[in-house]
């Protein structure tokens, strides 16, 4: 008998010890769960927010400045009302794990209760009797609990608090302290956050956050959510946990230990499937401000789940699809792959809600006739359902919310769909010009693949999330400010991007929020300094100006020159200035030159012109150079060469302007340029000629100095209603913009004296607005970049120059210019735009905020040429000074 008692006692001791070590080793959340009212939106615990600085990573991100955390940290300031001795408060808070609970209050906001551990009786005593003369301490009893209320001398409530279970429980909202008392006295069962996370193993983290999904709105986004973000948030678990982890490479992340997933349509598609690394950086335009991604590695399982959902979930869009093409519409579903990416484009004055949806797709050749039929049948307008743009098929499908009908409510925001195929993706857009802009960026490699900050996001093969969102904080700043006013500057000043993702594994979901700081800056000895790379002795320049081109694949620059024998020379290594002969031309270079894939063969050619010939110089991977050329019509001499969008076979097309003010379109390398102004004589054409492409219609905007604006068709006819006459002089071309009210394009330009004028496509002037003229000598013009990809407005006088945006709002001004100064605009994607101003014999370079780049002006006797290498944040400036050609560099980060 005694032996059995001994065995039983031993078992009890072993079980007790096991429980003890499980409790200690397994960790227990230090949050004051038993005191927290059940209506809490979120619970946070940290032993660092009371520190004077809570800095993480080498990028010096102050964690206390992050949303939600900043409000919690600021609430600690109420302790200053207990005593004026700051050292006493610091000693009281030192190394304590403080709990913060967030609760809904009026105005869709959140109030905070803090739970601060009390270590000894001394602390309890001074907390019980605040010692300041500028406060009034009152008490009231609620359900037999004594609550202390602290007011200022004007009886304005400051905060209330309660001492209970060795905690100081304090809040600026006195009603919340009464909620704590109700929770203590009622002995209610634990609430959802408590039941899931009370025993979470979070003791090794400096900060832990437990939050209900519905709480994000009260805590962060106080304005209207973007609809796509609402749908994305619905895919995440109802309750979530986040724990601060400082990783390598300056990455700051809030990771989950695992929570219960929530059932919804998209998560059902990826159940029991692994995610896949992100390999599509080359397909994401630099204009993307944020994107949502759904991806699965198991294509067969994903497809089975997706097809099952598609069959069970009819929609009005699917009904319209079936109405137009019947069973053929299933081909849009059956060939869908396992990756979908919805990109929100940054706002511009022409397109304020552009979206691009990439859906992995197979068998496009079989889909082409189906899309063609669908576009013709669904689009009520004539000649605008099908088109080609730079070799891509374009389709206009007038079915409202077609992507949402095909792929679910995450993909809303498409009143009409404009569709093309860029392998391996079927590409949808809600705006015809946004789709064209996407193709231009893809062809010119203005994509995340060329960005050192975005070229490696989500590429890890381990722990890949099936759902993810990537936010470019700088591009999304205006949208963020509207949705979440008052966010601290650390988000945009020190951070490049935000990645919010959710991984599903087994029966658990693992949400994760990652903040990626900007990459470490260059040494101050190099950063934003102007360095001379090489001097090339070149006493005579035979060309009309310098020609600098940029390799889109890696951003490396090259300089093109001709010698007295018309040999085309190439300088690729700007450090050594080594010269290579490429080809023999029939004259010196005239006008601008370009680097584009004109042959549509997967690599770019140098496009250039001499007085009588235009060339495409192709160089293959082995260095073999092939010059292809076409002569201008007899008697014509080239004056300018413009790149325009809209080529049907290559990535671009070109317009040639001759010395007699005739225009020719060059669409293919092997074909003679076709005259555009066959039925009208032109004079004093303002450079450049601008393309306006709509589905079924392609136009060229031609502006004369006398204020007449022509809209030329491809066949040389002038569109009915044109030329439009603004009845005043202009010294710059008209561009075009998208009217946000009608979603239709309109022409926009500015007169010499600063009248901002818009013209609709019928040729009628729809608006005239005089911009500010601070001085009588001010003159205005629209300034395009050399590739005609972007434009802005310039206001200038003999000694001043102001940069205006497309609405005419001044961005910055440059003073003390010498007469005859020259200005150029250089566009290398929306993130990298520069202005160069030559005043006297020197050139200065600025970004679009007015910040001067480099530490000294660059000697230049004529306009400089600029290229940009994004991988190294390096600007190259090529100038001619006396008998030398010089290559300069400026490191921006």
Confidence of residue 754 (pLDDT cuts 50, 70, 90): very high
The pLDDT of 691-707, averaged and rounded, is 89
The pLDDT of 211-233, averaged and rounded, is 79
Using the predicted structure, report yes or no on whether residue 238 has a pLDDT greater than 80. yes
Nearest to 633 by CA among 660, 596, 606: 660
Confidence of residue 9 (pLDDT cuts 50, 70, 90): very low
Secondary structure of 356-421 as H, E, C letters: EEEEEECCHHHHHHHHHHHHHHHCCCCCCCEEEECCEEEEEECCCCHHHHHHCHHHCCCCCEEEEE
Residue 25 is predicted with a pLDDT of 32
Secondary structure of 319-372 as H, E, C letters: HHHHHHHHHHHHHHHHCEEEEEEEEEECCCCCCCCCEEEEEEECCHHHHHHHHH
Residue 20 is predicted with a pLDDT of 31
User: What does the pLDDT look like over 165-213, one tens digit per residue?
Assistant: 999 999 999 999 999 999 888 766 678 888 889 888 888 888 999 999 8
For residue 369, the tally of other CB atoms under 10 A from its CB is 11
721 alpha-carbon distance from chain centroid: 39
Sign of CA dihedral 487, 492, 494, 500: positive
Contact criterion met (CB below 8 Å) for 643 and 788? yes
The pLDDT of 353-371, averaged and rounded, is 94
What percent of the chain clears pLDDT 70, i.e. is strictly above it? Answer: 91
The pLDDT of 386-397, averaged and rounded, is 89
Max avg pLDDT among 18-27, 103-112, 511-520, 570-579: 570-579
The pLDDT of 530-551, averaged and rounded, is 91
Using the predicted structure, report yes or no on whether residue 375 has a pLDDT greater than 90. yes
Residue 125, classified by CB atoms within 10 Å of its CB into exposed (0-12), middle (13-18) or buried (19+), is exposed
> Which H or E element spans position 439?
helix 432-443
Confidence of residue 503 (pLDDT cuts 50, 70, 90): very high
CA angle 267, 273, 276 (to 5 degrees): 100
DSSP code, position 741: T
3-class SS of residue 229: helix
Residue 31 is predicted with a pLDDT of 84
Confidence of residue 247 (pLDDT cuts 50, 70, 90): low
Rg (CA), the chain: 33
Residue 108 is predicted with a pLDDT of 67
Residue 711 is predicted with a pLDDT of 95
Nearest to 706 by CA among 690, 680, 730, 689: 730
Residue 6 is predicted with a pLDDT of 40
The pLDDT of 517-541, averaged and rounded, is 84
User: What does the pLDDT look like over 757-781, one tens digit per residue?
Assistant: 999 999 999 999 999 999 999 999 9
Contact criterion met (CB below 8 Å) for 643 and 440? no
- Residue given tokens 């002006």 in the structure block: 857
Using the predicted structure, report yes or no on whether residue 28 has a pLDDT greater than 60. no
Quote the CA–CA distance of 17 and 23 in Å, as a whole number. 10
User: What does the pLDDT look like over 261-292, one tens digit per residue?
Assistant: 888 899 999 988 999 999 999 999 989 999 99
Quote the CA–CA distance of 175 and 166 in Å, as a whole number. 21
Residue 15 is predicted with a pLDDT of 33
The pLDDT of 370-388, averaged and rounded, is 88
Using the predicted structure, report yes or no on whether residue 526 has a pLDDT greater than 90. no
> How many alpha carbons fall within 13 Å on the CB side of residue 154?
1
Residue 206 is predicted with a pLDDT of 87
Residue 738 is predicted with a pLDDT of 79
- Residue given tokens 């090489």 in the structure block: 534
Confidence of residue 451 (pLDDT cuts 50, 70, 90): confident
Question: What does pTM read for this prediction?
Answer: 0.84
Query: What tokens does 829 get?
Result: 């994607």
Quote the CA–CA distance of 584 and 888 in Å, as a whole number. 28
Residue 23 is predicted with a pLDDT of 31
Using the predicted structure, report yes or no on whether residue 26 has a pLDDT greater than 50. no
Confidence of residue 480 (pLDDT cuts 50, 70, 90): low
Residue 18 is predicted with a pLDDT of 33
> How many alpha carbons fall within 13 Å on the CB side of residue 33?
18
User: What does the pLDDT look like over 847-861, one tens digit per residue?
Assistant: 988 999 999 999 999
Mean residue pLDDT of the chain comes to 87
Residue 482 is predicted with a pLDDT of 53
Confidence of residue 742 (pLDDT cuts 50, 70, 90): confident
For residue 872, the tally of other CB atoms under 10 A from its CB is 16
Using the predicted structure, report yes or no on whether residue 17 has a pLDDT greater than 80. no
Residue 496 is predicted with a pLDDT of 83
Confidence of residue 407 (pLDDT cuts 50, 70, 90): very high
Residue 222 is predicted with a pLDDT of 54
Residue 103 is predicted with a pLDDT of 94
The pLDDT of 14-41, averaged and rounded, is 59
Query: What tokens does 530 get?
Result: 């102007």
The pLDDT of 869-874, averaged and rounded, is 87
User: What does the pLDDT look like over 646-690, one tens digit per residue?
Assistant: 766 666 789 999 999 999 999 888 889 999 999 999 999 999 999
User: What does the pLDDT look like over 411-437, one tens digit per residue?
Assistant: 999 999 999 999 999 999 998 889 988
3-class SS of residue 714: coil
């Amino acid at each position: 008998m005694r032996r059995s008692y001994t065995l039983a006692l031993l078992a009890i001791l072993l079980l007790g010890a096991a429980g003890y070590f499980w409790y200690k080793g397994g960790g227990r959340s230090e949050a004051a769960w038993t005191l927290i009212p059940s209506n809490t939106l979120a619970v946070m615990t940290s032993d660092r927010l009371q520190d004077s600085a809570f800095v993480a990573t080498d990028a010096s991100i102050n964690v206390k400045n992050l949303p939600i955390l900043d409000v919690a940290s600021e609430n600690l300031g109420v302790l200053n009302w207990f005593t004026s001795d700051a050292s006493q408060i610091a000693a009281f808070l030192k190394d304590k794990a403080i709990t913060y609970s967030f609760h809904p209050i009026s105005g869709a906001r959140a109030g905070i209760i803090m739970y601060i551990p009390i270590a000894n009786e001394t602390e309890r005593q001074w907390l019980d009797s605040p010692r300041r003369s500028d406060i009034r301490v009152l008490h009231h009893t609620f359900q037999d609990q004594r609550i202390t209320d602290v007011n200022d001398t004007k009886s304005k409530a400051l905060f209330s608090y309660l001492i209970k279970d060795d905690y100081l429980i304090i809040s600026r909202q006195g009603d919340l302290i009464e909620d704590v008392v109700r929770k203590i006295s009622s002995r209610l069962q634990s609430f959802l956050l408590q039941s899931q996370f009370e025993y979470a193993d979070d003791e090794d983290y400096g900060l832990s956050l437990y939050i209900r999904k519905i709480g994000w709105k009260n805590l962060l986004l106080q304005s209207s959510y973007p609809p796509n973000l609402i749908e994305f948030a619905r895919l995440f678990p109802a309750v979530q946990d986040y724990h601060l982890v400082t990783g390598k490479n300056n990455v700051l992340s809030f990771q989950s230990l695992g929570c219960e997933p929530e059932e919804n349509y998209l998560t059902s598609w990826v159940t029991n499937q692994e995610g896949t690394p992100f390999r599509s950086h080359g397909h994401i335009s630099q204009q993307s401000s944020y994107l949502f991604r759904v991806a699965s590695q198991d294509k067969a399982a994903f497809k089975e789940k997706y097809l099952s959902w598609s069959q069970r979930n009819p929609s009005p869009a699917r009904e319209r699809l079936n109405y137009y093409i019947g069973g053929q519409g299933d081909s849009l579903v059956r060939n869908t792959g396992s990756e979908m990416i919805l990109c929100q484009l940054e706002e511009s004055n022409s397109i304020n809600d552009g979206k691009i949806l990439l859906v992995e797709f197979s068998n496009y050749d079989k889909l082409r006739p189906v899309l063609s039929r669908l576009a013709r049948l669904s689009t009520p307008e004539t000649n605008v359902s099908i088109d080609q743009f730079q070799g891509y098929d374009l389709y206009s499908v007038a079915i409202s919310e077609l992507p949402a009908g095909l792929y679910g409510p995450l993909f809303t925001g498409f009143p009409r769909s404009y569709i093309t195929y860029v392998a391996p993706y079927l590409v949808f857009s809600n705006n015809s010009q946004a789709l064209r802009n996407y193709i231009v960026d893809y062809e010119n490699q203005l994509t995340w693949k060329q960005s050192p900050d975005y070229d490696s996001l989500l590429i890890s093969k381990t722990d890949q999330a099936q759902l993810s969102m990537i936010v470019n904080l700088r591009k999304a700043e205006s949208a963020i400010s509207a949705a979440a006013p008052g966010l601290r500057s650390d988000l945009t000043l020190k951070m490049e991007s935000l990645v919010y993702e959710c991984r599903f594994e087994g029966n658990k979901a693992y949400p994760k929020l990652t903040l990626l700081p900007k990459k470490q800056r260059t040494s101050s000895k190099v950063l934003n300094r102007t360095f001379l790379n090489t001097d090339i002795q070149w006493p005579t320049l035979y060309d009309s100006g310098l020609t600098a081109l940029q390799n889109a694949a890696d951003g490396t620059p090259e300089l093109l020159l001709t010698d007295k024998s018309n040999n085309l020379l190439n300088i690729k290594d700007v450090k050594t200035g080594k010269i290579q002969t490429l080809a023999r031309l029939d004259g010196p270079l005239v006008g601008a030159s370009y680097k584009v894939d004109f042959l549509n063969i997967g690599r770019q050619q140098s496009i250039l012109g001499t007085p009588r010939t235009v060339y495409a110089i192709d160089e293959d991977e082995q260095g073999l150079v092939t010059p292809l050329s076409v002569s201008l019509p007899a008697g014509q001499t080239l004056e300018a060469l413009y790149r325009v969008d809209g080529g049907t076979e290559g990535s671009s097309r070109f317009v040639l302007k001759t010395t007699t003010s005739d225009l020719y379109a060059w669409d293919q390398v092997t074909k003679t340029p076709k005259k555009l102004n066959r039925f009208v004589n032109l004079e004093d054409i303002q450079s450049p000629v601008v393309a306006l492409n709509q589905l079924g219609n392609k136009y060229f905007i031609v502006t004369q100095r006398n204020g007449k604006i022509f809209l030329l068709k491809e066949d040389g006819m002038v569109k009915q209603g044109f030329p439009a006459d603004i009845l005043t002089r202009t010294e710059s071309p008209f561009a075009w913009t998208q009217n946000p009210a009608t979603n239709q394009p309109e022409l926009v330009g500015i007169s010499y004296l600063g009248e901002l004028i818009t013209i609709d496509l019928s040729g009628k002037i729809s608006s005239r607005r005089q911009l500010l003229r601070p001085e009588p000598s001010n003159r205005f013009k629209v300034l395009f970049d050399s590739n005609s990809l972007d434009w802005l407005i310039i206001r200038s006088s003999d000694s001043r120059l102001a940069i205006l945006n497309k609405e005419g709002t001044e961005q910055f001004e440059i003073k003390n210019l010498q007469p005859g100064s020259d200005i150029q605009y250089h566009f290398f994607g929306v993130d990298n735009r520069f202005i160069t101003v030559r005043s006297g014999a020197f050139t200065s370079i600025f970004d679009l905020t007015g910040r001067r780049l480099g530490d000294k002006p660059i000697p230049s006797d004529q306009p400089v040429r600029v290229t940009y290498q994004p991988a190294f944040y390096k600007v190259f400036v090529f100038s001619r000074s006396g008998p030398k050609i010089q290559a300069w560099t400026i490191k921006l980060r």
